[in-house]
Amino acid sequence: MAELTAEKKKMVQESWGLVRSDMRSNAADFFLFFFKRHPTYQKLFNDFKDVKYEELDGNQKFRGHAVRVFFAITSLVDNLDDLDIVVDILQKTVKDHIPRGIKAKHYEDLMGSILAFLEKALGDKFTAAWKNSWETVAAVILSVVHAEIEADLTPAARENVQNSWGLVRKDMRKHAMGFFLFACVVVLFSYNGKIRSVMSK
């Protein structure tokens, strides 16, 4: 992963400054852009999942959600000089969205769309250096997202094991006998293999 230098942080903050100058319009425009690239993702937003794409821009809940997301991004950008805060914000965001079925792929597509939107919206102002800086920030963000999602899998996996073992415990005698017979078969075949090996010598 490329190093997130002070210069790159500054470039990201400068470029985002152009976006936040008209937060409401740019936020709505971004989500329209995002849903155009990923139409199925609109279904993940209960407040406007059934609103026709052509009617989204005039939907109050859609515009409100778009602005809230852009304020969240602004918090990340503003705190790039203190990555501990960035990590804390991201961890909370990921934890809040895991129960809603949001996976790493969704964040990857979101970050990819943000970069593409910035390139489109800012035009020639979005220089190669700015793009490279955003790519570095995106890599940092996604590394935290992936780590948090993977960490959350551990308790879920543990719960699955506990639930499956609970089914076994309901009829321990039956399953214990089945396991014993299975073990006997394994030992028998192993033992027969040794006999055949000795006899063939």
- What average pLDDT does range 93-117 have in this prediction? 95
Please tell me the distance from the alpha carbon of residue 134 to that of residue 173, in angstroms, as a whole number. 60
- Those residues with Cβ within 8 angstroms of residue 67's Cβ, 6 or more apart along the chain or in another chain: 23, 24, 27, 28
The reported pTM is 0.74
- The helix (run of H) or strand (run of E) holding residue 89 is helix 83-97
Mean pLDDT of the chain: 84
Q: Pseudo-torsion of CA 166, 170, 176, 182, nearest 10°?
A: -70
The pLDDT-based confidence of 152 (bands split at 50, 70, 90) is confident
pLDDT, tens digit, for every residue of 51-62? 999 999 999 999
The pLDDT-based confidence of 170 (bands split at 50, 70, 90) is low
Q: Out of 39-43, 106-110, 137-141, 151-155, which region has the weakest mean confidence (pLDDT)?
A: 151-155
Whole-number pLDDT of residue 156: 53
DSSP one-letter string for 92-159: HHHHHHGGGT--HHHHHHHHHHHHHHHHHHHGGGS-HHHHHHHHHHHHHHHHHHHHHHHHHHHHHHHH
* Residue from 49, 141, 128, 33 nearest 87 by CA: 141
pLDDT, tens digit, for every residue of 7-46? 999 999 999 999 999 999 999 999 999 999 999 999 999 9
* Residue from 18, 53, 52 nearest 35 by CA: 53
For 81, what's the count of Cα atoms within 13 Å in the CB-facing half-sphere? 6
Give yes or no for a contact between 81 and 9, defined as CB atoms under 8 angstroms apart.
Answer: yes
- % of the chain surpassing 70 pLDDT: 75
- What average pLDDT does range 101-120 have in this prediction? 96
Give yes or no for a contact between 17 and 155, defined as CB atoms under 8 angstroms apart.
Answer: no
196: pLDDT strictly greater than 90: no
Please tell me the distance from the alpha carbon of residue 126 to that of residue 182, in angstroms, as a whole number. 66
